Amino acid sequence: MAEIASLAGRDAHDRRPRSAAEAADVPGDDAAAQLISPVLRGMRLLRYVASGGVTANLSEAARQTGINRVTLARLLDTFVHDGTLEAIAGGGHRIGTGLLTLAADALAAESPARLCRRALAGLAGELGLSAYLAVLDGADVVFRLNHMPDAALVTQIRIGSRVPALRVAPGRVLVAFHADAERTFEALTAGSDEAERAALRAALARDREHGHAWSFGGLEADIDACAVPVRDADGHALAAISVAGPAASLRAPAQRAQVEAALAQASQTLSSWLAAAPHDRFFL
């Protein structure tokens, strides 16, 4: 990593205008003085490669990452030397065994429950809402984990609470993204009249299209909730994470958009964590 540190002096004299990507790496005021810009650039490069970014064309990769072409080349050489990246025959790079081993070791030390609690704590802290993880058990949703913000929501839902699946947002996404969604729907709606079945089927289709489900006072008056699936490698629901809060704070479009974006990011992160972490079907 010595090569990265050696770039610090050069970067201090780099007076060219910063790209949008570079500007995002450097916070304002006193915090910027405590950060090492070459390290931030290196992390940005790794995220780019991990997301499928191509480095065979250095000029294009520099444009995509906002990293100076010369700096980019030196970072690539450094990461290949370190085993963090591997050069691909014919040009380009991929994540190397060194970084994969590091990530695997870190994930192996985390239990699924701890990973889920981290995700729920992040959601509750970001949104100021109560966050839950739920699983499908027969016709019911069972709430396994929660994280409450400082101003806790007054709700009947506790760890261990069981609720008919199709009455709540977590249950709807669990059915919508179930590995055998149609059979599960038929089992859960047996005995319902055709009008109710049609309405539920339409709701699940919307949930599937949007990737999330909203419930507006569906279980408790004046409490709204939004849920997303936590997916396995095939895209099917292992569990659902949701947030809930007072209806008055969740009806504005901007507030709902913020919730949806935060849940989508949490779902993607937790799904990737759990896909890489060894576990014993914790959710079942």
State which H helix or E strand residue 145 sits in.
strand 140-147
Which ranges constitute the DSSP H helices of the chain?
2-12, 20-25, 37-50, 58-65, 69-82, 97-108, 112-127, 169-176, 181-188, 194-210, 253-276
Helix, strand, or coil here: 275?
Answer: helix
Q: What is the pLDDT of residue 62?
A: 94
Give me the residue label for tokens 């790496």: 25
State which H helix or E strand residue 216 sits in.
strand 213-216
Q: What is the pLDDT of residue 276?
A: 61
Q: What is the pLDDT of residue 281?
A: 47
CA dihedral 121, 124, 130, 132 (to 10 degrees): -40
The domains found in the chain, sorted by start residue, are 2-106 (1.10.10.10), 110-276 (3.30.450.40)
Helix, strand, or coil here: 200?
Answer: helix
- Report d(CA 56, CA 72) in Å as an integer: 12
Nearest to 206 by CA among 178, 180, 172: 172
- Report d(CA 218, CA 196) in Å as an integer: 15
Q: What is the pLDDT of residue 6?
A: 42
Tell me which residues of the chain have a pLDDT lower than 50: 1-20, 22-24, 26-27, 279-281, 284
Overall residue count recorded for the chain in this entry: 284
- Report d(CA 254, CA 179) in Å as an integer: 32
CA distances from 222 to 82, 213, 244, 251 (A): 55, 17, 10, 11
CA distances from 234 to 172, 217, 252, 279 (A): 19, 32, 34, 16
